Structure 1
Amino acid sequence: MAAISWAARVAVALSRCCRQSWAVILLAPLLAGAGGERVDRLVTDFDLIIFNTEFGTPMDAKIHKWITPIRIFLDARAGPLDLERKELEEHVALLRRLTGLKIEFVPKAADGNLMFVFDTQDRLIGSVNKYLAQPIGGWKDLHGSLCFGMFGVQDALQINFAVIGIPIDEVMSRGKLKDCVIEETTQVLGLPNDSDKVFPSVFNDHSPQVTLTDDDELLVRLLYSPRIDVGMSRAEALKVVREILEEGGP
């Protein structure tokens, strides 16, 4: 697969999972009868997780999300392939339901637009860099990450490519395989930030949460609501999110 160009017109968001210190979709309205305090909190959570990144670099204050089908290429160079694929397939099934996107696995790298790389820690950066025109310099550039994900956007709007890297030897030794798969796969959908203010949540590196909470799922559903458009400004998006929540949820 040709490497993506992360040029000036391409925004890049980098997420990380599990810092070195540790690491039934409801179809009925989720917020029926909810008070204003919870709505306020969820709007704040949406703002924190969608419009910021874990590395302190502000996004461009616009909505970024996938609108085309996601084609996952599983590049498993090390580790227990059956377990790696099982964890990924289980979470992908949930994300399909939350987003309404077509998400499928493809057998060839040339057909993929989400490259999921499992390799040993000493080789992972090199394996991931094969998919990037602007390579990662090394683990020092990842600020203490255990696993990581990044996405590129077309015309500074819709996400059209993503790469996730997981050092399988390290995550297996720490029991963090599920944590990394769930957090990174979710974040490259356009939810790049982690925040200690969102708790409990997979978007909080100091929370023991492993699977998506109801509120985490709600953030994904809000982002992929048809009322939230790609390229929508921060101010407009937060206004629409509040309206959706006050109406009972997406």
Structure 2
Amino acid sequence: MRGWTGISRGLILASLAGLVGCGDILVEPPAQTAAPPVAPPPAEPLVKAPSQASRDLARYYSGLQNSLLTQGLLRGDGGGPDTPFTDTQLARNFVQIALFNEYRDDSDFSRPQATVSKLRRWDQPIRMHVQFGDTVPLAQRDQDQASVSAYAARLSRLTGVPVTQTDRRPNFHVLFLGEDDRRAYADELRNLIPGISDATVRAFTDLPRNQLCVVIGSFKPGQSSYRTAIALIRAEHPNLMRSACIHEELAQGMGLANDSPAARPSIFNDDEEFALLTTHDELLLQMLYDPRFETGMPITAAAPIARQVATEIVTPGQS
């Protein structure tokens, strides 16, 4: 979760004209047939005007983005010479990010509470669907749809999990909702995740201002393989902050569910230094879907494998 603490009819006509006027022979022109009806173009989605509360949030987040950029934060360079990391650090960060939860399952997201977990990931293809609230401008929808499509393809390359964009039985929902859209989304959320706790629904609809975006994952009882994921991104965010939320929440929805203050260079760190997925984070995703891990593996079994995999993939040019 990203939070803040401190986006040729002519040819046919000519051939018919040449058949008329030869002696007394008349050629009956072909019977005129009615042109097939032309389907009207699809109507553009209706865009509703946002409320004053939503407009106030948009101004607040615009100011927040400017403030972070002024401080040298929200970097998009992926890390560089100033952010070296070793295989030991990568393995340790993997354990903290992939094998702990940032929030308890029944959390209202009001306070992070890291708890140990088993290794979670997707064992089925992802069918991703992007949905926009009624208050999201059309140009912004086009931009965000393109961003999600490109990033989902990147995640698929890194993890090996097939990701397709579809509205048929989707299992990964990416929601761009304004304040008004989100507050009216409780019933739809319950339809997407049957059995979701009331506390989680309230946390979603009443998301506090300092929570920029969030992802919710669901599993079959007693299992650690993702069944459904829902990423919520505030439509009021300016472009870079929406991109930052896309990068973090979709990556967390792949199974890197926790944050760590020690992870650097990383988006899985609430200090907001990096906005976009880094080289370090790409390695975490590759590690998560390494076949030597098993979905549901406990930390005691996964940690030694993490050290082995990290040692193999961190080359001298990366450390």
State TM-score, norm by structure 2: 0.63
- Determine the C-alpha separation between the residues in 2 that align with 1:127 and 1:160: 20
Instruction: State how 1:68-79 maps to structure 2 within 5 Å.
Output: 68-77=124-133, 78-79=136-137
Residue identity opposite 2:188 in structure 1: K
2:171 is aligned to: 113
Structure with more of its chain in strand, by fraction: 1
Q: Which residue of the partner structure matches residue 162 of structure 1?
A: 229
Output the amino acid matched with 2:263. Answer: V
> How far apart are residue 92 of structure 1 and its match?
0.7
Corresponding residue SS for 1:74: strand
Change (3 A) 1:129 1:144: farther
Q: Which has the larger radius of gyration?
A: 2
Residue pairs, 1:28-39, within 5 angstroms: 38-39=86-87
Gaps of 5+ in 1: 1-15, 24-36
Mean CA deviation greater in 226-235 or 115-124: 115-124
Aligned partner of residue 62 in structure 1, secondary structure:
coil
Unaligned runs of 5+ in 2: 7-63, 69-84, 104-111
One-letter amino acid of the counterpart of residue 272, structure 2: S
Separation in 1, partners of 2:223, 2:209: 25
Query: RMSD between aligned alpha carbons?
Result: 2.3
Q: Which amino acid aligns with 1:39?
A: D
Letter in 2 for 1:160: R
Q: Is contact 1:18–1:180 with CA below 8 Å preserved after alignment?
A: no
Per the alignment, residue 17 of structure 1 pairs with 2
Task: Select which of 23, 48, 65 maps to 2:96.
Answer: 48
Q: What are the Cα deviations for residues 85-128 of structure 1, in whole angstroms up to 9, with x where unaligned?
A: 111111111101111011011124xx110111111123214326
Aligned residues: 218
| C-alpha spacing 1:243/1:84, structure 2 compared with 1 (3 Å) | same
Stretch moving more, 47-56 or 147-156: 47-56
Residues 140 and 236 of structure 1, relative CA distance in 2, 3 Å threshold? same
